[in-house]
Amino acid sequence: MAEVGRKFADQLWLQSYPHMDRNFETEIKLDFYARFWEMYLTCALLKGAPQHGYSIPDRKQRGYNNHGGPDILLKHNDRRIWIEAVAAKNGDPTKADSLMEPGEHDSEDYEPPKIPVDKIILRYTNAINEKFEKYRKYLLKNVVHKCDSYVIAVNGFPLFYRWTGDPSRPRILQAVFPIDVPEYVWNKKTPEDDEIRYQTRPEIFKNSGAPVSTAFFVDDKHHGVSAVLYSNANAFSPGLDKNFIVVVHNPLASQPVPRGLIPAAQEWWAEEVSDGYRLVHQDR
């Protein structure tokens, strides 16, 4: 399995090399998951470029230097779409809010551990907020302009409990919208009025009791973030498959990304209704 992953990573490197910064070969030794994700995403976007009508300037075309900028640049018509990649981390193992590796077992009456969904979502919010702060620095340096789109691309493969997979409504939604798990409303008299709706949850509480907002996309402070992209792509599942990618659009984005532009298996967006928003998705 390790050999398969190594060969796949080498293939990605050959394709993505012209787009990577000059420190890449050093940094991949220090943080493999994050840099692998950057390579994977670059190659997936290169593969989708002819069909989706955007281009991806390489390092020389961007005038890339060691002071950097977001990881990937798409050019679509006259618009610049920046994509900043980040691999979510389990956190400090000495802290209660971090994800801990499930223990091993060898007994027949073993019961799988309860999935720590809130902690998983906290790891997503941490990654997203980290890259939002980076976006603000890019604006100050005039690397990213207010008229540009900016997408945060989160990879969740490094997290423990990745084997649990995502439910039909991906958990990344709970990191950017103030929602909890979906609930099914059954109407016995008129079944056609059955619906799935979400319980409201604007924040998650840390072990200390400190609240962490999950309303990222309904806070106008974050209007500069066009969308969040999520994936569990990894070196052990070779192939550039859009089925690994979910895109969630920000309803308050000042520079939204056109739906369908980024190759993805699923896209989510929020439509305004009388009492808030309604989440809508499309499988592609």
pLDDT of residue 2: 73
What distance in Å separates the CA atoms of residue 208 and residue 190, rounded to the nearest whole number?
A: 45
* Percentage of the residues of the chain whose pLDDT score is greater than 70: 87
Q: How far is CA 223 from the centre of its chain?
A: 17
* Percentage of the residues of the chain whose pLDDT score is greater than 90: 63
Partnered with residue 80 across adjacent β-strands are: 75
pTM of the model: 0.91
What distance in Å separates the CA atoms of residue 38 and residue 28, rounded to the nearest whole number?
A: 10
pLDDT, mean of residues 266-282: 89
195-200 and 266-273 strand pairing:
unpaired
pLDDT of residue 191: 60
Question: Which residues 6+ apart lie within 8 Å of 107 measured at CB?
Answer: none
Burial (CB < 10 A; 0-12, 13-18, 19+), residue 150, is: buried
- If one compares 113 and 225, the residue with the highest pLDDT of the two is 225
pLDDT of residue 237: 80
Residue 129 has pLDDT above 50, yes or no: yes
Over residues 20-76, the pLDDT tens digits come to: 988 888 888 889 999 999 999 999 999 999 999 999 999 888 875 545 789 999 999
pLDDT of residue 66: 46
> Could you tell me the pLDDT band of residue 235, with boundaries at 50, 70 and 90?
confident
pLDDT of residue 144: 94
Domain boundaries, the chain: 73-283
Tokens 């971090």: give the residue: 98
- If one compares 45 and 278, the residue with the highest pLDDT of the two is 45
Over residues 152-163, the pLDDT tens digits come to: 999 999 999 876
DSSP 166-221: --SS-TTHHHHSSEEEEEEE--SS-GGG-EEEEEE--EEE-TTS-EEE--GGG-GG
pLDDT of residue 77: 94
Over residues 78-123, the pLDDT tens digits come to: 999 999 999 999 999 898 899 988 765 555 655 666 889 999 999 9
Over residues 63-86, the pLDDT tens digits come to: 755 457 899 999 999 999 999 999
Over residues 159-198, the pLDDT tens digits come to: 998 766 666 789 999 999 999 877 666 666 666 555 667 7
Residue 276 has pLDDT above 90, yes or no: no
Contact 76, 148 (CB under 8 A): no
